Amino acid sequence: MRERKNMDYRAMAERALNKREDIFEKRKSAAAAGKRDLVREYDRQMDDLATEAREYVEFAERQGEIREAFKGAGALGAATPGEVRADGGDEFRGGLLPSEADMETRAVNGSEFLIPSGTAAKYVDILRAKAVFLRGIPAENLLPFGERTWEMPVLNDTDMPGLVQANALIVEGDDTWAGLSFTAKKYADLRGAANETFADASVNLRNVLAQTLLRNVAVQFDADAFTGAGGTTDPVLGLVGQGNSVAASGATGETATWDDVSDAVLRIWQGNAEPTVIWAAPDAANALAKEREGTEGGYLEPDTPLNVARRLPTLVSTNIPAGNVIVAAGDRVFAGVREDAKVAVSEHAEFANDRTLVRLTMRAAGTYVAETSSVQVITAAP
């Protein structure tokens, strides 16, 4: 579209938006009647009118008309394309999209909850809780590796330096090294849907499925990182199997107290490491949060710099066994990743059934704790 001088671009943009609004009403009726081809045609027309309106606004802005002429207008604001407005709004875009009332025309019908009769503003994404293992270790401790097997050198013992007089011989020290080997294990998941569902969904269904797969794989890796047994059927060895396990000091069935956590901090200190994180099962975290001084006293608060235990960040995960609390030096915990999560989409795998499949794969090598004392697992009292 060519820009022309002395044109009333405000009126032209408003006409384009009015046409778009009329077509949107027709689209709602067509969608309710199940006329999919007509709905697609209306969508195309609405996109064309939105582009046309944007161009008119850009022309007006370049002529210096838009900021004064549209001051206070709700349908079209003074924001230039790509500009971040000071008030955080995007009035121009708001004029190109259906109103909130129009968004509520979405229909929910059994298994076709993703197929609207109008335009959906959002979808309800019900997924499991986020993975928390990787939030407790430094980013640099997530180690990428380029081969099928992850080889990590481990320093088992080392001589300590001594004082040396001037001009005296410096005695060479001795280190004892070992090799730690992990083999990459693949996480994979697959989802699919009929192409009609992809075409009629009120959201970008491919992205929805991809995000679902990513989160599910992250949660599964999180579970393995905490409780993986390291065997044939469960090849990832988790923190619980590598750390020093100590039962809580209370009565049978009671979870850890802050005294138990402080004792765990001491054991980490004695191993020349620095505690940085607490991972806890929901019930154990709740018990710590409700711990009081006596039965009627106030809740325990960190009151001195020595109260390291109560100053550590506490991350709660349902993937930790009930009643367990893990106190760790996060910088002494490592995880290996062979391949980042990859999402692939195939429209041909089920060609005869007219279905599209979405697949995710990720290869990881599990976890490694540098010293057993750096991870203290507090279980419920026996």
Render 75-130 in DSSP notation, one character per residue: SS-SPPTT---TTS--HHHHHHS--HHHHTT----GGGTT--SS--S------PPP
Largest CA distance in the chain: 96
* CB burial of residue 178 (10 Å; 0-12, 13-18, 19+): exposed
Q: Which residues, listed in sequence order, are joined to residue 122 by a DSSP beta bridge?
A: none
Torsion sign over Cα 186, 236, 150, 325 = positive
pLDDT value at residue 76 = 40
Please tell me the distance from the alpha carbon of residue 108 to that of residue 120, in angstroms, as a whole number: 11
Please tell me the distance from the alpha carbon of residue 343 to that of residue 362, in angstroms, as a whole number: 9
Interval 305-323: pLDDT, tens: 556 778 889 999 989 999 9
Integer angstrom CA distances of residue 176 from 51, 130, 155, 162: 69, 40, 6, 18
pLDDT value at residue 90 = 42
pLDDT value at residue 57 = 74
Cβ atoms within 10 A of the Cβ of 330, count? 20
pLDDT value at residue 284 = 93
Please tell me the distance from the alpha carbon of residue 254 to that of residue 288, in angstroms, as a whole number: 11
Q: Which CATH number fits domain 126-382: 1.10.287.70, 3.30.470.30, 3.30.200.20, 3.30.2400.10?
A: 3.30.2400.10
pLDDT value at residue 75 = 41
Q: For the chain, which residues make up each domain, given as ranges?
A: 9-112, 126-382
pLDDT value at residue 166 = 92
Integer angstrom CA distances of residue 81 from 78, 221, 250: 10, 41, 63
Weakly modelled stretches of the chain, pLDDT under 70: 1-7, 32, 34, 60-131, 150, 180, 232-234, 292-307
pLDDT value at residue 266 = 94
Interval 85-100: pLDDT, tens: 434 334 444 444 444 3
Please tell me the distance from the alpha carbon of residue 285 to that of residue 300, in angstroms, as a whole number: 14
pLDDT value at residue 56 = 78
Chain centroid to Cα 191, Å, comes to 19
Q: What are phi and psi of 85, to 5 degrees?
A: -75, 150
